[in-house]
């Protein structure tokens, strides 16, 4: 979340000026077409899926920094969703298995 406590790195609402999502552009956009998050990373919401080194599974209930999820499941995680997904599904906390 780039140091934020909101749904998106910029706040809790989304608009076409902030991200590429369903019905907005209709295809992927060039990296840097939208403003970066507070850490300087571009396109962390919308545009393209991000495959991460995490595996599908429940996180521990204990407080953690950079949790890894399951270490035994075969599916890796994708985050941040693509331009073809509704903005409600672009929340930073969303993680889905990539089979």
How much is the pLDDT for 28? 86
**Banded model confidence at residue 38, pLDDT cuts 50, 70, 90:** very high
Residue 20 has pLDDT above 80, yes or no: yes
The CA dihedral of 51, 25, 14, 88, to the nearest 10 degrees, is -60
Task: Give per-residue pLDDT as tens, 22-37.
Answer: 878 888 889 899 999 9
- Rounded Cα distance, 49 and 15, in Å: 19
How much is the pLDDT for 93? 66
Task: Give per-residue pLDDT as tens, 39-91.
Answer: 998 887 878 777 666 777 776 788 877 766 666 666 766 666 666 677 777 77
How much is the pLDDT for 19? 87
User: How many Cβ atoms are within 10 Å of 77's Cβ, its own excluded?
Assistant: 21
Q: pTM higher than 0.85 for the full model?
A: no
């Amino acid at each position: 979340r780039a140091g934020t406590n909101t749904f998106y790195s910029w706040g809790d609402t989304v608009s076409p000026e902030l991200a590429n999502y369903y019905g907005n552009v209709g295809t992927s956009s060039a990296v840097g077409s939208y403003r970066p998050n507070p850490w300087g990373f571009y396109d962390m919401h919308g545009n393209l899926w991000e495959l991460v080194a995490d595996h599908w599974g429940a996180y521990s209930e204990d407080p953690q920094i950079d949790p890894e999820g399951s270490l035994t499941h075969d599916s890796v995680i994708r985050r941040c969703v693509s331009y073809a997904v509704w903005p409600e599904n672009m929340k930073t906390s969303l993680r889905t298995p990539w089979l």
